Chains A and B, each alone.
Chain A
Amino acid sequence: MASLKARHRRSQLMVGVMIAAVFVAVIPLLFILGDVVVKGISQLNLAFLTQPEPFIQTASGGGFGAGIRGTIKMVGLGTVIAVPIGVLAAVYTTEYRSRGPLATLVRFFADVMTGIPSIFVGIFVFTVVVLTTGSFSTYAGGIALGILMMPVIVRTSEGAMQLVPIMLRESALALGIRRWRTIVSVVLPTAAPGITTGVLLAMARAAGETAPLLLTSFGNQLMVPWTQWNGPETALTLQIFNNSRAFLPIQQARAWTGSLVLITGVLILSLVARAVIARRARQTR
């Protein structure tokens, strides 16, 4: 066996290698975030957030207002679809027959579904919604995002509900309160912060999706009214994608600014999500 000194040196060397690995991952992240801020911030203004791209794309001015609106609409619709189904499915897997075959299957395939490529979900919604209605549309995009959000919401809601002490349920049932009432008035409110965190994280992920939207909402140069959902609409990510593949500096600059807006939005959602859970933890303590 090697001398004690050599063994310690080897151990220290390996710790050094681990620290190096941390830097290998963190340095590119800093470069990405730094580039997005540096290259994006100078064009960022109110017009960028509210106006559509100039009609001639190579002209200056305008912004990603159309895409920001589209992203809000589609993520909103996705949330409206995914939250009730996801939370109710989680109610089934925790509150009813949680060890039964259906609950086990749902849990397992919800995990599997989080690994399904988002572009495939786009293809599915294309065949079901776009081919049926004959048109790319805002709601097709929203449905695709909803499907992507669903498994995340199932699993995080389930985790949150499992943390609700069984005694709370028993107390409610002992008072003669119905099962559904116990779930709606005791379990869900207690689990609400955890569920909210899951929903916000799912929204953040959905807002960053590009691939499924190419096949469902397609993109649109014009600003679509808030109330119109049955035609093609662009999203922030789609505008970044299209502008960055163009070779004019002015379009690339717009793509950087769009990325800055997107990353800021995603980070705010993630931070709020963490804050909700952290506040909850402080309250229970």
Chain B
Amino acid sequence: MQVLTKSADRAGIAPARSADRYFRWLATGSALLVLLLLAGMLVRTTVAAWPAFSKYGISFITGTKWNPAGGQFGALPLIYGTLVTSVIALLIAVPVSVLIALYVSEVAPPRLATPLTYVVDLLAAVPSVVYGLWGLLVLVPFLTNHIYQPLTTHLSWLPFISDFTSGRNYLTAGLILALMITPIISAVSREIFRTVPAEEREAALAVGATRWEMIRMAVLPRSRSGVIAAVILGFGRAVGETIAVAYLIGGLPSITAHLLQQGSTIAAEIALQFQEAVATPIWKSALIGLGVVLFAMTLLINIAARLIIRRSERGVRG
């Protein structure tokens, strides 16, 4: 045996074997690093946010005043703004995206479906700073002159929109967010619809269902959990979107039911204030704390969505 090993050494096989081991370590190390990075992010930022967390305690989240100049750091108005803009975005984007996905996977001829998929994906390729620029310089003036002002003067009895102060407001931010999350919701839904076996569609059509009835009988019931996951993913994107919202929300943290008033979101507030806050330790720490809150929200949202997707994929396979 020893002789064998020795001759193997001489033939250069042993170094090859250790090269095998090194390479494996390298790959394992890289895999671990990806996980450690995520853990490290949570720990490192929580530590940096600790001064703010320990000083304000639970009122950091429940406090209703976000006023850095006055030393007040209650993130509730920002959490509120984040949720309101994201919900507006979902209300618009979910039906639109699901309908697009249905059209592409169930109705459109393949020759049309493929380029259409590219075009919708293109919405995801537009950088958020461009959405912000376009939103601020084109969409805001348009909405102000042609929608918001006529609406508030003629239909001022409508709830939520009576009090109009600025074209940069919750609704405008929500509209742009809707556009930005449409590609992810429709792409994931599309993939989910594709997993429905062709036999089930054919069975529905064979018993005389129209195309829409086939979709309702065969496609939608099987895809429910997957589409929910797609919606949650879109929600996560909307919650974390920063720059476009920073342009369009106005940057005045507030809790109001009036959607045509200025507000702010967690991510937008970080982006708009950070460069100014760096010199003030508690302000800086509070903004990092906002980041931790945002991270926790999106982490939970994304874990939920991925678990649902994984389960529904396994269901299809199993």
Residues of A within 8 A of B (CB): 7-8, 10-11, 14-15, 17-22, 24-26, 28-29, 31-33, 35-36, 84-86, 88-89, 91-93, 95-96, 102-103, 105-106, 108-113, 115-121, 123-124, 126-128, 131, 147, 150-151, 154, 178-181, 183-184, 204, 207-211, 214-215, 218-219, 237, 240-241, 244-245, 252, 255-256, 259, 262-263, 266-267, 270
Contacts and interface: CB of A to CB of B under 8 A. Distances in A.
Contacts of B116: 22
B310 interface: yes
A259 B34 contact: no
Interface in B20-58: 20, 22-24, 26-35, 37-38, 40-41, 44-45, 47-48
B131 A32 contact: yes
A35 B142 CA distance: 13
Nearest to B295: A120
Contact of A178 (B20, B123, B275, B305): B20
Given A18-B107, A21-B99, A112-B299, A123 B270 contact: yes
Nearest to B26: A88
B210 interface: yes
Interface stretch (B70-78, B154-162, B234-242): B234-242
Contact of A262 (B123, B127, B243): B127
B133 A26 contact: no
B177 interface: no
Chain B binding site: helix, strand, loop or mixed by DSSP? helix
Nearest to B121: A270
A36 B130 CA distance: 8
B64 interface: no
Given A22-B99, A35-B134, A208-B126, 13 more contacts: A21-B96, A32-B126, A85-B33, A88-B31, A92-B28, A93-B31, A96-B27, A116-B240, A127-B48, A180-B19, A180-B20, A240-B130, A241-B132
Given A21-B96, A208-B128, A262-B127, A150 B34 contact: yes
10 contacts: A21-B97, A24-B96, A86-B30, A113-B38, A115-B298, A116-B298, A208-B125, A263-B127, A266-B125, A267-B125
B23 A244 contact: no
Contacts of A15: 103, 107, 211-212
